[in-house]
Amino acid sequence: MFHLVRSVRELETKKHARARLDQARPLSEKTDVPLSPRTRALIRDALDEDVGRGDRTSQAVLPPGRKLGAFVAAKAPGILCGLEIAAAVFKTAPGVKVKVLSRDGSALVPGTRVLSIEGAGGAILTRERMALNFLQRLSGIATLTSHYVERLQGLPCRVLDTRKTTPGWRELEKYAVACGGGTNHRRGLDDMILIKDNHLVALAEFENPIGEAVRRARRRFPRLKVEVECDTLEQVALALRAKPDFILLDNMDVETLRAAVKAARSAKSKAKLEASGNVTLDSLRAIAETGVDFISVGALTHSAPGLDLSLEAAWAK
């Protein structure tokens, strides 16, 4: 439902990577390969943005009718994501043939070829940077996510993404998190209730704003899961009385997190506990060992470096 691993040798095989993707069950709805209408529109917009009135370099330099054969390969280890999207970019050119050589969620080592492309040289080179932008961005997110997931090996706690995504890219970036073994939090504002501090300020006249907010949410949208953000143990106590589905423990240190987990267990609460706020790879495991069910990490999508992949022309005729 909540929607590098230490060495190259530790990267999972394709089979294990696919299992990792299948197990990344979202908190909201299933994560699908995102060649959706929104993604196709994004590809069209990216083409229009980059090409404008034409690729003047290719138009000037390439002989008329020149054909190229090329491939896209990894230059660094990581987890692949965005392959079908990159292929779709090249396929917007009539007559360009694309062969997919791998699959999203696969482990990459330097030199791994993931796409081969044949066709009009100008069409391929015009689309090179755009296809790589999708691949590098999404593979970078998947790779960083896999680092976080690896740190929690042996623990039941799961890594969540957030809504801190690039505008227009959310479904792609959340898909990349799933490819890296992470779990998707809510897709947007319409598929789950998340009551945050600013919502509670608007209910300050009530004795228990948290309880009032949960009551209103249950009444208005009875089928949606409800989560409440808490940044103190006093708020946690009020949230436990309100019985939400999830409690978000925001910016708490490890000792406070342990106390919150203890309070929830003492109350025999069914609410799942999510830790959030300034989470790093170094702090991740200690947070998980407090007993929380989830840790949300904004850095998965707002700070992931791109994975190095490149397109190389193999032949021309």
The rounded distance, in Å, linking the Cα atoms of 84 and 309 is: 15
Q: Within this chain, do residues 174 and 265 fall inside the same structural domain, yes or no?
A: yes
Identity of the amino acid at 51:
V
Which listed residue (91, 196, 215, 216) is catalytic? 196
Domains contained in the chain, number: 2
Which listed residue (12, 84, 229, 293) is catalytic? 229
Pairing mode, if any, of strands 97-100 and 246-250?
Answer: unpaired
Which listed residue (25, 113, 164, 285) is catalytic? 164
Q: How many CB atoms lie within 10 A of CB 298?
A: 17
Residue 310: give its domain's CATH number. 3.90.1170.20
134-163 b/e with 16+ CB inside 10 Å = b? bbbbbbbbbbbbbbbbbbbeeeebbbbbbe
Confirm whether 72 is domain-assigned: yes
Nearest to 23 by CA among 164, 146, 192: 146
Q: Within this chain, do residues 66 and 140 fall inside the same structural domain, yes or no?
A: yes
Which listed residue (250, 272, 274, 293) is catalytic? 250
Q: Within this chain, do residues 76 and 154 fall inside the same structural domain, yes or no?
A: no
pLDDT of residue 3: 43
Q: Within this chain, do residues 158 and 254 fall inside the same structural domain, yes or no?
A: yes
Give the orientation angle of helix 121-151 with respect to helix 83-91, to 10 degrees: 170
Concatenating the DSSP letter of every residue in 247-302 gives EEEES--HHHHHHHHHHHHHTT---EEEEESS--HHHHHHHHTTT-SEEE-THHHH
Confirm whether 18 is domain-assigned: no
Kindly list the distances between the CA atom of residue 227 and the CA atoms of 67, 204, 290, in Å, as whole numbers in the listed order.
Answer: 56, 18, 20
Q: Within this chain, do residues 60 and 123 fall inside the same structural domain, yes or no?
A: yes
- Annotated catalytic, 243? no
pTM check: above 0.85: yes
Nearest to 225 by CA among 250, 203, 202, 243: 243
pLDDT in tens, 216-275: 999 999 999 999 999 999 999 999 999 999 999 999 999 999 999 999 999 999 999 999
Residue 289: give its domain's CATH number. 3.20.20.70
- Annotated catalytic, 97? no
Q: Is 88 in a helix, a strand, or coil?
A: helix
Residue ranges of the chain with pLDDT lower than 50?
1-26, 28-30
Q: Within this chain, do residues 174 and 193 fall inside the same structural domain, yes or no?
A: yes
Confirm whether 43 is domain-assigned: yes
Q: Within this chain, do residues 200 and 240 fall inside the same structural domain, yes or no?
A: yes
Q: Within this chain, do residues 169 and 112 fall inside the same structural domain, yes or no?
A: no
CB 104 within 8 A of CB 191: no
Confirm whether 4 is domain-assigned: no
Pairing mode, if any, of strands 107-108 and 78-79?
Answer: antiparallel
Confirm whether 2 is domain-assigned: no
- Annotated catalytic, 22? no
What is the domain extent for residue 229? 150-302
Confirm whether 20 is domain-assigned: no
- Annotated catalytic, 164? yes
Confirm whether 273 is domain-assigned: yes
CB 229 within 8 A of CB 195: yes
Q: Within this chain, do residues 296 and 309 fall inside the same structural domain, yes or no?
A: no
Confirm whether 114 is domain-assigned: yes
Q: Within this chain, do residues 144 and 40 fall inside the same structural domain, yes or no?
A: yes
Q: Within this chain, do residues 46 and 101 fall inside the same structural domain, yes or no?
A: yes
CB 274 within 8 A of CB 294: yes
Which listed residue (38, 99, 129, 265) is catalytic? 129
- Annotated catalytic, 196? yes
Q: Within this chain, do residues 139 and 175 fall inside the same structural domain, yes or no?
A: no
